[in-house]
């Protein structure tokens, strides 16, 4: 699976889009009040990526276990310092309701924590190359 993202910013216009295997989707993000860049920062989007990944993966892994989730809430947080410093203290919590016991839901959450792709990518670290 090949995933890419693009953002184009000019004169109060912001055009973000993502693609997976050539299937493009546009996103709605507001520009900064100055018109230069996005009103949502990269740290916020990174945390949203973690939350979205875990939410989607919970539904995927629940289906594999024949569990029907009726709701999922994922909250992520981190600390960011001065410009150029990496984020620290990344944490998240998840809640799910399903046609299952509390033990089954907890087992699902723990399993999903081990297989969530974005989480594992950040945990292992990756090279990021400017081309």
The candidate with the shortest Cα–Cα distance to 43, out of 73, 15, 80, is 80
Domain ranges in the chain?
Answer: 1-40, 41-131
Give pLDDT tens digits for 63-96: 999 999 999 999 999 999 999 999 999 999 999 9
Contact 32/38 with Cβ under 8 angstroms?
yes
State the pTM of this model: 0.91
Q: Cα 104–107–109 angle (5° rounding)?
A: 110
Question: Which CATH number is associated with domain 41-131?
Answer: 3.30.300.20
């Amino acid at each position: 699976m090949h995933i890419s993202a693009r953002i184009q910013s000019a004169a109060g216009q912001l055009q973000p889009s993502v693609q997976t295997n050539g299937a493009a989707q546009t996103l709605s993000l507001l520009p900064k009040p100055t018109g230069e860049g996005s009103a949502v920062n990269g740290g916020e989007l990174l945390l949203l990526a973690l939350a979205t990944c875990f939410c989607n993966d919970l539904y995927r892994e629940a289906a594999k276990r024949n569990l029907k989730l009726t709701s999922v809430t994922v909250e992520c947080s981190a600390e960011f310092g001065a410009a150029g410093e990496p984020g620290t203290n990344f944490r998240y919590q998840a809640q799910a309701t399903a046609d299952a016991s509390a033990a089954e839901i907890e087992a699902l959450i723990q399993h999903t924590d081990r297989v969530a792709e974005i989480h594992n990518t950040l945990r292992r670290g990756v090279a990021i190359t400017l081309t």
